[in-house]
Chains A and B, each alone.
Chain A
Amino acid sequence: METTKTIINYTHRQAGHCESGATSNLFKFNGLEISEPMAFGIGNGLYFSYIPFLKIQFAPMISFRNLPNTVFRRSTSYMGIEATVVKKIKDPKEAMEMLDRNLAQGIPTGCQVGVFQLTFFPPEYRMHYNMHNLVVFGKEGNMYHVSDTVLEFPQLITYDDLVRVRYAKGAFAPQGKMYWINHAIENPVDLKPAIILGIKKTVYEMIGIPFPLIGVKGLRWMARDIRKWPKKHGNDTASFYLGQILRMAEDFGTGGAGFRYIYGAFLKEAGELFGGHQELLEASDMMGKTANKWREFTYMGARNCKNRAKPEEDYGTLSEKLLEIANDEEKVYQKLKKIKF
């Protein structure tokens, strides 16, 4: 068997969020220095949805992130950068050949994958979650070099394993989705209009969508549900459900507090870019404080999980904390909505 070796000179930088990290790394490769929070903010990474009737690993589905590929697609289109997204490839072999062709041309390519079969991931973090992203940047014989921004260093994965994760089944199946930036970015990109578009869209998604389970409304709905859980399901299940929220908010590649820190950092950067824009900086400060409240909520929740039978903090307190967070967040979005650039 012939051994081909192509490794693209690609810098791996660890990030809090898989997709915005991959996006920012791809931009850097193509010559546009952009930080992770910036990519996250422009591409509308911030989101919240609570879907109680859909169970993921025996607990209600809670998502702190947008649909897969939103960050990459929106950030490139808002900045006017040519990029390709191949949504669905039926034949796994063809998908891998496409990937190989890209690598031969020297284009690092992002792929949507499922986490459960990912061999280099720590076993305890493997769950049926199909919205993970990684960038393939090299091939050596049968092995692929991949950069998974959640982990500290680039990893190796075999051909068969890569096919398996790219064709993981279940909710939001990746179906071989891949994306890349077409060519190097030569002209300097004006970030300001992109930032404005990004903020407007995020504000719309968090408070504008007329559906009760998305955005701040979804957060309130969940807060009201938490109060009911112990009576409805018993203490054990309630504590497990609560654990799911906490795991989603803190553990699964979030950079902490369900991305609120990253968004705050984005607002701060944007404010500095607009020449010390006072309102943006204030909004960033408010977002940071909200994020700190999220972290307090996590600690309270964890204390609750520790002692399942006799919770130290009852669910009413947690619910109130969450409602408080929802109110604070809504204030931030209302403020952002009113800003005139």
Chain B
Amino acid sequence: MEANQNPVYKDKAYGQFRELSYSYQDGGAFEKTVGYHGEADRLVLQQAWDLFRERIESARQLVISGKVSPVVYYMEKNLLDPLNLSMMAGVALWRVKLHLKPGFFKRLNEKTLQKYADAFNITTEQLKKVD
């Protein structure tokens, strides 16, 4: 964790808020400091988000080429996997896995569409296409 006044880090994308962190010096003093995130934290955060963005982008391309259903794109966008999506939408896991294919997705009724839309916090119209 870096010190409070660190103009270099301030305008970077990550770690825009100051967090409380503890540290320990030999001799027995635990210290509290409020500061921006350090280089190490920033790096792993950057790495994770690079991967998420990559996944979202590749999902979008797959949807556009018609290989998978838009559910995949929104699932990736919300950082979910099929298991978590099944928990969030209240649809059984095996059904979720079917709905990732475009053929099964097209046959979905309004009710199930609405469940997915609620889980992603969008409307059913938006769910049918990628933005």
Chain A residues at the B interface, C-beta cutoff of 8 Å: 14-16, 37, 55, 57-58, 116-117, 122, 124, 127-128, 150-152, 164, 169-171, 173, 239-240, 243-244, 246-247, 250-251, 253, 255-257, 261-262, 264-265, 268, 281, 284-285, 288-289, 291-292, 298-299, 301-302, 305-306, 308
Chain B residues whose C-beta falls within 8 Å of the C-beta of A302 in the assembled complex: 39-41, 43-44
Contact yes or no, B20 A15, CB < 8 A: yes
| Given A55-B81, A281-B28, A299-B40, residue A16 in contact with residue B22 (CB < 8 A) | yes
Contact yes or no, B47 A285, CB < 8 A: no
The answer to the question of B58 belonging to the interface, with a C-beta cut-off of 8 Å to chain A, is no
Chain B residues at the A interface, C-beta cutoff of 8 Å: 1, 13-24, 26, 28, 30, 32, 34, 37, 39-41, 43-45, 47-49, 51, 78-81, 83-84, 87-88, 90, 119, 121
| Given A55-B81, A170-B84, A240-B47, residue A255 in contact with residue B20 (CB < 8 A) | yes
Q: Is the interface of A mostly helix, strand, loop or mixed?
A: helix
Q: Is the interface of B mostly helix, strand, loop or mixed?
A: mixed
Query: Closest Cβ of chain B: how far from A297's Cβ, in Å?
Result: 10
| Given A265-B22, A302-B44, residue A169 in contact with residue B88 (CB < 8 A) | yes
Q: Which of B20, B23, B51, B81 has the most CB of A within 10 A?
A: B20
Contact yes or no, B48 A240, CB < 8 A: yes
A-B pairs, 10 with minimum CB distance = A261-B22, A288-B24, A302-B40, A265-B30, A243-B44, A169-B88, A256-B21, A246-B44, A14-B20, A302-B43
Contact yes or no, A152 B24, CB < 8 A: no
| Given A244-B48, A247-B45, residue A261 in contact with residue B17 (CB < 8 A) | no
CA distance A16 to B47 in the complex (A): 24
Contact yes or no, B22 A250, CB < 8 A: no
Chain B, residue nearest A56 (CB): B84
Chain A, residue nearest B85 (CB): A170
Chain B residues whose C-beta falls within 8 Å of the C-beta of A257 in the assembled complex: 22
